[in-house]
Structures are given as C-alpha cells and as structure tokens.
Amino acid sequence: MENCYAGATYYIKLLLISHKDQVLSQSRQLNVQTSASPDTPILSLRACNFKYIAIQWEKPSVYGSAHITSYRLFINGVVESNLSPQQTAYTFTSGAWCREYVFQLQ
C-alpha cells in the first residue's frame, strides 16, 4: 500500500466487478492500522526543591504493532537511566544547588 499515513486505520474490501459494472463477488472487510513511531512523551515538572527534581509524563499514543519497550532518560544530554515502559515519573536526587538541568525522554 503506497501513500498511506502512519498510524492511520484503513478499511479494505475487495470487489470483483463485471464488465457491466455489476458486483460479482466481494471479500469481507479488513481493518488495517499502519505502524508508526509512538508519539513523543511530553515531560512536565511535578516538584522541585533542594533535595530532588521530580518529572512526570503521560504514556504516549502508539500505532499499529508498534509498542514502547523502554524509556531512555537524558539529563543534560547524557543517559541517566533506562526506565520501564510502565513508568510515568522519575525523581532526580543527585543534582547540585544552583545548576541547570535539561531533561529529555526518548
């Protein structure tokens, strides 16, 4: 199938049509969802104090046979942790005062 959108559901039915445009036979309807990469998780700050920084996210949408096997958390561009696909929050406790941290989830 060409020109299909990733993550879209398509309904397919095959028809056998005579030269007089009459339907001679038809298949049952097939439902097909194309695969796509999961949506990007959107991080939000849950708490920040002198002891820790807590972040959270909602599980992103997945399409077709694609699924999330794990999350990779980066802090300031360096891999901090590999997280389970069920996890939706993380608490960072090894930060230093008066420093900036950039969190990314892949």
Segments forming the whole domain that contains residue 53:
44-105
Q: Are residues 25 and 48 in the same domain?
A: no
Q: Are residues 27 and 49 in the same domain?
A: no
Q: Are residues 60 and 93 in the same domain?
A: yes
Q: Are residues 64 and 100 in the same domain?
A: yes
Torsion on CA atoms 82, 84, 90, 91, rounded to nearest 10: -70
Kindly tell me if the per-residue pLDDT of 101 is higher than 80.
Answer: yes
Count of domains for the chain: 2
Residues 6 or more apart whose CB falls under 8 angstroms from that of 18 comprise: 24
Quick: pLDDT tens for 33-44.
777 778 888 999
Kindly tell me if the per-residue pLDDT of 7 is higher than 80.
Answer: no
Q: Are residues 29 and 60 in the same domain?
A: no
Q: Are residues 56 and 8 in the same domain?
A: no
Kindly tell me if the per-residue pLDDT of 66 is higher than 90.
Answer: no
Q: Are residues 28 and 60 in the same domain?
A: no
Distance CA 14, CA 76 (A): 53
Q: Report which of 105, 44, 49, 37 is spatially closest to residue 77, judged by C-alpha positions.
A: 105
Domain assignment of residue 61, yes or no = yes
Q: Are residues 55 and 95 in the same domain?
A: yes
Q: Are residues 50 and 7 in the same domain?
A: no
- CATH code, 76: 2.60.40.10
Q: Are residues 58 and 28 in the same domain?
A: no
Average pLDDT rounded to a whole number, residues 15-22: 92
Whole-prediction pTM: 0.68
